[in-house]
């Protein structure tokens, strides 16, 4: 007999949690029972299968759900949890170096742990992006290494308060991004994924075809690398079922004026640096972060949250699955 979500889960708390518009962010769900059988990953899998709609509604309402205390131990057990949720898989396309681990599970960004991975919606610039990002902590770091996330609509609200005309201008005119990638992977960089891995081919003609399917243009560089060009893209987006909130669905702060990337208006004109700097401050001020514990699973609504990674001492192993 299927167990009801309200019988299986209890609402808990975590340090760093915030209350936004009356909702806990993230919503922390823990086992309601205190015996090993009800606390284990197998019981969690069965409960998720039986309550998929309830779980998805919580993810959307709270922007993120943290499953804690279910003794999920490794990639295989995490993969079973991902499958239980019933959301279709979506292949990652982007600059982060990653390695396949098991089933639908990959390593998260393998860039150096001492570097900060800036806040972003996963695959924000690609035509088809995930609806959910699911993260699993297999080995919590001894210090740092949090996965901070930001309710995206709060950034738009505050940017509109301070720069109303500029926000509307950027949204109306659209944005253009460029990113430069090497041919081979470089795990010494958090954006070190080579184009051969990203497009799953070493053939330039096939890579161009796959880039066009993702709404990208490409320019080949003398060193064998490639510059990808994307745009125009909106600054904000409104998605169904999310209270008509305008999400900060862009990567202007993360790509503007960087060594390997750029963000401009679609016509090539510059975005004011003081606007970019202030938006970066707002994003940090709105961030939510908690300390990873072994076995934690964080389900993020990718349409409503930006996420990143704090610098960390080793070891740290966080795995990821991306879903439609």
> How buried is 266 (Cβ within 10 angstroms: 0-12 exposed, 13-18 middle, 19+ buried)?
middle
CA distance linking residue 12 with residue 254, whole number of Å = 33
pLDDT in tens, 194-228: 888 888 899 999 999 998 988 899 999 999 999 99
Indicate the helix (H) or strand (E) that contains 314. Answer: none
E strand segments, 84-148: 100-102, 105-107, 117-120, 132-139
User: Is-contact 175 235, C-beta < 8 A?
Assistant: yes
- CB distance 146 to 291 below 8 Å: yes
CB-CB contact of 311 with 113 (8 Å): yes
Rounded to whole angstroms, how far apart are CA atoms 29 and 161? 34
The pTM score is 0.94
Q: For each of the chain's 324 residues, which pLDDT tens digit applies?
A: 678 999 999 999 999 999 999 999 999 999 998 776 678 899 999 999 999 999 999 999 999 999 999 999 999 999 999 999 999 999 998 777 889 999 999 999 988 999 999 999 999 999 899 999 999 999 999 999 999 999 999 999 999 999 999 999 999 999 999 999 888 877 666 566 788 888 889 999 999 999 898 889 999 999 999 999 999 999 999 999 999 999 999 999 999 999 889 999 999 999 999 999 999 999 999 999 999 999 999 999 999 999 999 999 999 999 999 999
* SS3 category, 266: coil
Domain locations in the chain as residue ranges = 9-141+289-323, 149-174+234-287
Token pair listed for 272: 């004011």
Hey, which CATH number is domain 9-141+289-323, 3.60.130.10, 3.40.50.2300, 3.40.1160.10, 1.10.3720.10?
3.60.130.10
**Residues near 98 by beta carbon (within 8 Å), at least 6 away in sequence:** 92, 106, 107, 108, 109, 110, 193, 320
Residue 318, φ and ψ in degrees, nearest 5: -120, 125
DSSP state of 263: E
pLDDT digits (tens, 9 = 90+) for 10-63: 999 999 999 999 999 999 999 998 776 678 899 999 999 999 999 999 999 999
> Positive or negative, the Cα torsion across 177, 181, 185, 191?
negative
């Amino acid at each position: 007999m299927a167990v009801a979500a309200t019988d299986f889960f209890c609402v808990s708390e975590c340090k760093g949690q915030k209350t936004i518009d009356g909702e806990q962010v993230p919503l922390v769900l823990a086992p309601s029972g205190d015996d090993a059988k009800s606390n284990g990953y197998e019981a969690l899998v069965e409960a998720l299968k039986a309550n998929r709609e309830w779980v998805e509604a919580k993810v959307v309402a709270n922007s993120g759900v943290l499953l804690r205390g279910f003794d999920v131990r490794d990639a295989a057990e995490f993969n079973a949890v991902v499958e239980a949720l019933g959301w279709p898989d979506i292949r990652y396309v982007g600059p982060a170096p990653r390695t396949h681990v098991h089933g639908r599970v990959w390593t998260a960004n393998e860039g150096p742990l001492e570097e900060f991975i800036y806040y972003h919606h996963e695959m924000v610039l690609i035509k088809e992006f995930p609806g959910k990002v699911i993260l699993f902590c297999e080995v919590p770091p001894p210090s740092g290494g949090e996965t901070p996330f930001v309710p995206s609509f709060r950034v738009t609200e505050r940017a509109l308060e301070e720069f109303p005309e500029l926000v509307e201008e950027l949204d109306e005119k659209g944005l253009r991004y460029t990113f430069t990638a090497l041919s081979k992977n470089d795990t010494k960089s958090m954006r070190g994924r080579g184009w051969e891995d990203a497009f799953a081919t070493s053939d330039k003609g096939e890579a161009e075809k796959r880039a066009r399917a993702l709404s990208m243009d490409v320019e080949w560089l003398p060193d064998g690398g490639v510059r990808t060009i994307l745009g125009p893209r909106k600054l904000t987006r409104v998605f169904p079922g999310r209270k008509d909130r305008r999400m900060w669905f862009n990567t202007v702060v993360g790509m503007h004026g960087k060594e390997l990337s750029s963000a401009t208006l679609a016509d090539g004109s510059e975005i004011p640096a003081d606007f970019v700097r202030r938006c970066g401050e707002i994003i940090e001020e709105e961030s939510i972060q908690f300390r990873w514990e072994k076995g934690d699973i964080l389900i993020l609504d990718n349409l409503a949250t930006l996420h990143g990674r704090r610098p960390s001492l080793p070891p740290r192993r966080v795995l990821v699955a991306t879903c439609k």
